């Protein structure tokens, strides 16, 4: 009997040697005359255990990790292909506590299926959402998405159904669906995991969006820093075209949806939707004035849905199981689940998908296992480089868009970066300005000039020059950037800067009372 | 931005073929620039004129796009490009020390190439490998939890290998 062995092709697994492990397992199996089938799956998201190798047994999949190429011979000696014990045994994958406690809806298949096998996708509930959608009118599909409460997972949290409804209501001979896969925020990698681990769910979500609003062409704008994700996506798009799930007359419905993945070119600002559209049109990624909204005048001036990868990849389960099923998860106005990405200085970094409402503390300690360095966690940045830094006394905040807004913080794309007590928060504030200066598109003055002046002012503060005056100056500058910038890059750089200053005044040479 | 490229003549025919292949695509400029850089290693300024003609753009517009994006380069890089992540997650795990180590070992600053032409060092702002920081990318291969000694090994490997992996 052929034994199925799963070895991730996820970028982060590859970053710690998954390719070498796969080659070693194939060579060792051949050498021993064993009949094995190696499947290159996505990552289950338990990154501290990568490379995590799984073997299919009669009892279910048994996991081993972290496996290095040098461990392979001993795994075979221990008869791991029958799930036998080894020093690296993790037991049945489904029983691993860290995974078992999660509520994986968007990530239901990631790590489980062969990412480029459409048959495997369908065998695990794939394309049920599209099949349901093809029986509905555009308005009914949009209503389901609206009723689910799904809000844009890219960071802005705008209701997805409302955006779709605007595009649906526009009369135009051509409309577009654009997937924003320019996942540039530090501490985030859920888009990458979907594209590498379950690309069909994104393709299905985009196809449903196209059917709903009457768009026949889709583009996935993907970061140039993600070569592996792009390769998997292109393989999956080819497979979907061949199987009749993309192209003309999808599943005999008479509907057309074509899809193309386009490489970005390393500009952070192109994650902003209007800058992204400029870039797709082949121009410099300069932010556009709004209005007009992209939903009305978007790509090439046509009505365009621009959604994040996770938003689109969540649509299939909503159309499969119903709006209410999804809306039953979550709290307040934050419905459904959020794929949270743990990053930075934590012991157990990885992907945790949970209903909204879990606290930062649960994520940092119950899932994250505390700091990797063993020192106290001093600050966490949530929501990427434009997100606020939160101190320890805010760790009991539940993950909810409105609860975070009350603290003048953001959930963003769900990335959490932890820092231990060796962090210098004045340096992090300086970095926030520096990053803004490097990445500014240059269209508006507060962002283009303010970011550079910000670096200089922080340098004066840390060197003690006209201290009180410069503290006031950085606040004034932040106020100008917040209120005067054209997009979130300049407009939100003050979040990390001022939260660092307000919560960690000592690092700026202030006594804590001066706060 | 002023020097004449030595590989100009060799590249011209290749680039013209790429222009023909991409010019009908909607929003063709970025896919075309990627194709050129993937093939030639950079975007030679000598090809701006033919691109601008084929896509009905001014030379200034082509130049503007090439220079707007961090990914595109106008000069031949070293045989390998090493990118070190500078973003927050990697900083939380010691990337600053790694950057300093790389610059010292290679005797270059960012955007420069080692004297032997082996490695061009570049900063990068997130590789999506934040669960396993700090991260380094060499050409298209990503490495996680990179210690200074592991970086030494990557440098040594890149120095001896002639072509991109």
- Alpha-carbon span A489 to A270, nearest angstrom: 10
Are the Cβ atoms of A189 and B131 closer than 8 angstroms? yes
Confidence bin at B6 (pLDDT 50/70/90): low
Q: Is B77 on the interface with A (CB under 8 A)?
A: no
Give the distance from residue A345's alpha carbon to the nearest chain B alpha carbon, in angstroms: 6
Q: What is the average pLDDT score of chain B? A: 93
> What does each C-alpha distance from A83 to A69, A91, A113, A480, B62 come to in angstroms?
18, 8, 19, 61, 58
Q: Residue A278 contacts by C-beta under 8 Å, 6 or more apart in sequence? A: A284, A285, A286, A287, A288
> What does each C-alpha distance from A332 to A323, A327, A328, A355 come to in angstroms?
16, 10, 11, 11
Q: Is A421 on the interface with B (CB under 8 A)?
A: no
Between helix A138-147 and helix A199-213 the angle, nearest 10°, is 120
Q: Is A422 on the interface with B (CB under 8 A)?
A: no
Least CB–CB distance from A267: residue in B26, B70, B88: B70
Sort out which chain A residues have CB atoms less than 8 A from B29's CB and list them: 282-283
Nearest to A180 by CA among A141, A211, A209: A209
Q: What is the per-residue pLDDT for B8?
A: 58
Q: What is the per-residue pLDDT for A514?
A: 46
- Residue reference for tokens 């594209």: A195
Q: What is the per-residue pLDDT for B10?
A: 63
Q: What is the per-residue pLDDT for B161?
A: 84
Interface subset of A 253-282, CB within 8 angstroms of B: 262-268, 279-282
- Alpha-carbon span A14 to A20, nearest angstrom: 8
- Residue reference for tokens 């962090």: A423
Least CB–CB distance from A266: residue in B61, B70, B145: B70
Q: What is the per-residue pLDDT for A512?
A: 67
pLDDT digits (tens, 9 = 90+) for B146-158: 999 999 999 999 9
Sort out which chain B residues have CB atoms less than 8 A from A431's CB and list them: 88, 91
Exposure string over A244-253, b if 16+ CB within 10 A, otherwise e: ebbeeebeee
pLDDT digits (tens, 9 = 90+) for B133-145: 999 999 999 999 9
Mutate to test the interface with B, among A187, A267, A277 (most CBs of B within 10 A): A187
What DSSP character marks residue A61?
A: E
Whether the ω angle into residue A239 lies within 30 degrees of 0, i.e. cis, is no
Walk me through the domains of chain A, giving residue ranges and CATH numbers.
Answer: 3-99 (3.40.30.10), 118-327 (3.40.50.11540), 330-420 (3.10.20.600), 425-514 (1.20.1440.230)
SS3 A136: coil
- Residue reference for tokens 């020390």: B97
Q: What is the per-residue pLDDT for A424?
A: 98
**Are A359 and B61 contacting, i.e. CB atoms less than 8 angstroms apart?**
no
Are the Cβ atoms of A12 and B33 closer than 8 angstroms? no
Q: Above 80 in pLDDT, residue B7?
A: no
- Alpha-carbon span A330 to B6, nearest angstrom: 61
Which residues of chain A register pLDDT less than 50? Answer: 514-515
CB pairs under 8 A between A and B: 152
Mean pLDDT, rounded, for B12-25: 95
Give the distance from residue B115's alpha carbon to the nearest chain A alpha carbon, in angstroms: 26
SS3 A331: strand
- Alpha-carbon span A202 to A207, nearest angstrom: 9
Q: Is B12 on the interface with A (CB under 8 A)?
A: no
Q: What is the per-residue pLDDT for A119?
A: 98
Least CB–CB distance from A185: residue in B126, B129, B140: B126
The ipTM assigned to this model is: 0.95
- Residue reference for tokens 């002023």: B2
Interface subset of A 444-483, CB within 8 angstroms of B: none
Q: What's the CATH code, domain B80-160?
A: 3.40.30.10
Backbone φ and ψ of A92, nearest 5°: -65, 130
Q: Is A227 on the interface with B (CB under 8 A)?
A: yes
Q: What is the per-residue pLDDT for B137?
A: 98
Mutate to test the interface with B, among A12, A21, A111 (most CBs of B within 10 A): A12
- Alpha-carbon span A258 to A175, nearest angstrom: 12
Sheet arrangement for strand A60-64: A36-39, A3-6, A53-57, A60-64, A89-92
Q: Where are the domains of chain B?
A: 8-68, 80-160
Backbone φ and ψ of A159, nearest 5°: -55, 120
Q: Above 70 in pLDDT, residue B165?
A: no
Q: Is B140 on the interface with A (CB under 8 A)?
A: yes
Sort out which chain B residues have CB atoms less than 8 A from A342's CB and list them: 131
Residue B155 host element (H or E): helix B148-160
Q: Above 50 in pLDDT, residue B1?
A: no
Mean pLDDT, rounded, for B50-78: 97
Q: Above 50 in pLDDT, residue B109?
A: yes
Q: Is A401 on the interface with B (CB under 8 A)?
A: no
Are the Cβ atoms of A349 and B132 closer than 8 angstroms? yes
Give the distance from residue B1's alpha carbon to the nearest chain A alpha carbon, in angstroms: 19
- Alpha-carbon span A112 to A57, nearest angstrom: 14
Least CB–CB distance from A16: residue in B65, B126, B144: B144
- Alpha-carbon span A455 to A453, nearest angstrom: 5
Are the Cβ atoms of B31 and A280 closer than 8 angstroms? no
What DSSP character marks residue A34?
A: -
Give the distance from residue A291's alpha carbon to the nearest chain B alpha carbon, in angstroms: 22
Q: Is A225 on the interface with B (CB under 8 A)?
A: yes
**Are A257 and A206 contacting, i.e. CB atoms less than 8 angstroms apart?**
yes
């Amino acid at each position: 009997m052929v034994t199925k062995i799963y070895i991730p092709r996820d970028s982060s697994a590859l970053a710690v040697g998954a390719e070498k492990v796969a080659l070693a397992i194939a060579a060792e199996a051949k050498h021993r005359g064993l009949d094995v089938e190696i499947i290159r799956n996505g990552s289950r998201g338990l990154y501290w255990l990568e490379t995590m190798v799984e073997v299919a047994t009669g009892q279910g999949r048994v996991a081993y990790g972290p496996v290095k190429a040098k461990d392979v011979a001993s795994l075979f000696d221990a008869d791991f292909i029958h799930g036998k014990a080894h020093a690296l045994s993790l037991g049945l994958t489904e029983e691993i506590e860290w995974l078992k406690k999660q509520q994986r809806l968007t990530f239901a298949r990631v790590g489980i299926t062969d990412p480029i096998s459409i048959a495997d996708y369908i065998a695990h509930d794939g394309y049920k959402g599209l099949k349901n959608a093809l029986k509905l009118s555009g308005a009914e599909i949009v209503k389901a998405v609206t009723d689910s409460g799904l809000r844009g997972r890219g960071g802005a949290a705008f209701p997805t159904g409302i955006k779709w409804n605007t595009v649906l209501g526009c009369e135009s001979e051509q409309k577009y669906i654009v997937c924003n896969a320019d996942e540039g925020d530090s501490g985030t990698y859920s888009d990458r995991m979907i594209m590498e681990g379950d690309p069909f769910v994104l393709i299905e979500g985009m196809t449903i969006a196209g059917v709903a609003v009457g768009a026949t062409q889709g583009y996935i704008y993907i970061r140039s820093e993600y070569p592996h994700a792009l390769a998997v996506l292109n393989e999956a798009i080819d497979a979907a075209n061949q199987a009749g799930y993309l192209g003309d007359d999808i599943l005999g419905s008479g509907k057309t949806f074509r899809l193309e993945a386009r490489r970005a070119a390393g500009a952070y600002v192109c994650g902003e939707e209007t800058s992204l559209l400029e870039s797709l049109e082949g121009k410099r990624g300069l932010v556009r004035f709004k209005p007009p909204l992209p939903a009305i005048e978007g790509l090439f001036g046509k009505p365009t849905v621009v959604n994040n990868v996770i938003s689109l990849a969540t649509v299939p389960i909503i159309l499969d199981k119903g709006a209410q099923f999804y809306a039953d998860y979550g709290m307040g106005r934050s419905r459904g689940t959020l794929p949270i990405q743990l990053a930075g200085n934590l012991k157990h970094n990885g992907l945790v998908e949970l209903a909204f409402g879990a606290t930062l503390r649960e994520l940092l300690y119950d899932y994250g296992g505390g700091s990797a360095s063993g020192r106290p966690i001093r600050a966490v940045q949530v929501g990427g480089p434009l997100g606020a830094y939160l101190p320890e006394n805010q760790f009991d905040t539940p993950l909810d868009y409105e609860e975070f807004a009350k603290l003048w913080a953001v959930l963003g794309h769900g990335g959490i970066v932890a820092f231990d007590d060796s962090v210098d928060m004045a340096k992090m504030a300086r970095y926030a300005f520096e990053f803004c200066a490097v990445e500014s598109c240059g269209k508006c003055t507060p962002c283009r000039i303010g970011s550079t002046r910000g670096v200089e002012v922080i340098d004066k503060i840390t060197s003690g020059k006209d201290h009180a005056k410069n503290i006031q100056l950085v606040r004034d500058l932040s106020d100008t950037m917040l209120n005067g910038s054209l997009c979130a890059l300049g407009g939100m750089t003050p979040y990390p800067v001022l939260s660092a200053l307000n919560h960690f005044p000592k690092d700026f040479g202030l006594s804590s009372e001066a706060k | 931005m002023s020097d004449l490229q030595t590989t100009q003549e060799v590249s011209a025919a290749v680039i013209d073929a790429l222009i023909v292949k991409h010019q009908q695509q909607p929003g063709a400029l970025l896919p075309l620039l990627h194709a050129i850089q993937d093939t030639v290693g950079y975007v030679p300024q000598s090809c701006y004129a033919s691109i601008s003609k084929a896509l009905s753009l001014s030379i200034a517009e082509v130049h503007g796009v090439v220079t707007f994006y961090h990914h595109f380069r106008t000069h031949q890089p070293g045989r390998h490009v090493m990118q070190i992540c500078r973003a927050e997650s990697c900083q939380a795990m010691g990337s600053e020390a790694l950057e300093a180590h790389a610059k010292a070992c290679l005797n270059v600053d960012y955007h420069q190439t080692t004297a032997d032409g082996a490695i061009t060092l570049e900063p990068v702002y997130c590789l999506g490998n934040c669960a396993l920081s700090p991260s380094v990318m060499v050409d298209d291969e990503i490495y996680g939890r990179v210690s200074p000694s592991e970086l030494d090994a990557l440098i040594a490997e890149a120095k001896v290998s002639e072509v991109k992996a």
